[in-house]
Amino acid sequence: MGALQSLPGRPEYSDLAEKTGFSFEQIGVLHKRFKQLSHNEETLRRDHFNEIHDLAFNPIRAQIIEAFFDRRNFHQDGEGKVQEIGFEEFVVVMSHFRPPSDHMTEEQREKTRREKLRFLFNMHDTDNDGTITLEEYRHVVEELLSRSGTLEKETAKCIADAAMLEVASISVGHMEPDEFYEGITFEHFLKLLDGFEIESRMTIRFLNMDTTTLCK
C-alpha cells in the first residue's frame, strides 16, 4: 500500500512493513510520533510514557505501559521485561492494533485473533507463568475500578471471583469438588472470548492518523 514517499533512505522500513503489515506512510507517522515521545532519542523509556498527559486518566495505564516493555509482545519469543525499547519494538507492539485487512483467509483471521488475544493475555498474566490466576484477575478488576472513585475492593474481588468461576465453567465444565482450577490458560482465554470478535474490536484506525493531531 502506498509508495515510499517522503522517507528517503529508510531500508529498514521495508523490513518493518513486511514484518508488521503497516504501510510505509503509517510507519512514517509512527516514527514521527516515536521521535516526539522520546524527545528525539533512540529509545523510549517508561518515563517518556508517563509524560503523556492524556494517559493520566486511564485506569489501566500502568498495564498499558508495561505492555510496551514486555518482551513477549515483541514476537521474538523472549520473556521478561526490558527497560527501554527501540522504534522497531514500538511498531511491533502497535501492530497488534491494526485492523484486519480486507482479504484475509480464515486462517489469517484466526492468526490475527490469536495474536490480539495473546496481547491481552500477556497484559493480564503479569508474572509470565502462562496462566492468569485468581489474584492476577482480581488485580485486573481492581485496576479497572480504581478510577471510579469508591474503592470497593470487596465488590471487585467478588466480580473477579464470579468471572473466574465462569471461565472455569466454560473451559473445564465438570470438576470434582476437590479439583482445583489453577488459572486461565491461553486456550481457555481463547475459548472465553470466542464470540468477542476481537479482530475487529481491538483496532485503531491508523489510516486516519494525520500529523496535525500529534501535538503533544
Partner 1 sequence: MPSRTVSHGSSGRLRGLFLVMVLVFLESSVFTLAFASSDQHSPTTAHSDGHKATDHGSHNNTGKAFPVLDLNYENVRVPFEISLWVLLASLMKLGFHLVPHLSNIVPESCLLIVVGLLVGGIIRGTGETVPPVLDSKLFFYILLPPIILDAGYFLPIRPFMENLGTILIFAVVGTLWNAFFVGGLLYGVCQIGTESSSILSRIGLLQCLLFGSIISAVDPVAVLAVFEEIHINELLHILVFGESLLNDAVTVVLYHLFEEFSGIGTVTLVKGFLGVISFFVVALGGVLVGVLYGILAAFTSRFTSHTRVIEPLFVFLYSYMAYLSAEIFHLSGIMALIACGAVMRPYVEANISHKSHTTIKYFLKMWSSVSETLIFIFLGVATVAGPHDWNWTFVTVTVILCLVARVIGVVGLTFIINKFRIVKLTTKDQFIIAYGGLRGAIAFSLGFLLEKDHFPEREIFLTAIITVIFFTVFVQGMTIKPLVELLAVKKKQEAKRSINEEIHTQFLDHLLTGIEDICGHYGHHHWKDKLNRFNKKYVKKCLIAGERSKEPQLIAFYHKMEMKQAIQLVESGGGIKLPSAMPSTVSMQNIQPRPPTKPAAERAIPQLSKTKEEEIRKILRTNLQRTRQRLRSYNRHTLVADPYEDGLSDLFLKKQKMFQIEKKLKEMNTYLTVPAPPPDSPTMCRARLASGKHTDFKPDQVQKGNKMCSDPQAYSIKPALNKVPMIQVDLASPQSPDSVNLLDEFGQANQQEEEEQGLMMKPPSRPREGKKPGEEDEAKDQQKLMRCLSDPGPSADEDEDGAFLP
Least distance in angstroms from the C-beta of 157 to partner 1: 6
Least distance in angstroms from the C-beta of 10 to partner 1: 20
Q: Which is nearer to partner 1, 8 or 205 (CB)?
A: 205
CB-CB neighbours of 22 under 10 Å = 22
Window 137-166: contact mask with partner 1 (x via CB under 8 A): -x-xx--xx--xxx-x-xx-xxx-xxxxxx
Q: Which of residues 2-21 bind partner 1 (CB under 8 A)?
A: none
Which among 3-11, 16-24, 72-80, 134-142 is the span making contact with partner 1, rule CB under 8 A? 134-142
Q: Which of residues 170-209 bind partner 1 (CB under 8 A)?
A: 170, 172-183, 192-193, 195-197, 200-206, 208-209
105 binds partner 1 (CB under 8 A): no
Can you name the residues that pair with 193 across neighbouring β-strands?
Answer: none
Residues 71, 100, 114, 186: which binds partner 1 (CB under 8 A)? Answer: 100
The alpha carbon of 171 is separated from its chain's Cα centroid by a whole number of angstroms, namely 23
Q: Which is nearer to partner 1, 9 or 83 (CB)?
A: 83
Q: Which is nearer to partner 1, 21 or 99 (CB)?
A: 99
How many residues line the site for partner 1 (CB under 8 A)?
Answer: 80
Q: Which is nearer to partner 1, 4 or 62 (CB)?
A: 62
Contacts of 197 (CB under 8 A, 6+ apart): none
Q: Which of residues 27-86 bind partner 1 (CB under 8 A)?
A: 30, 33, 36-37, 49, 52, 54-55, 57-61, 64
Least distance in angstroms from the C-beta of 58 to partner 1: 5
How far, in Å, are 69, 157, 179 from residue 93 at the CA level?
9, 30, 37
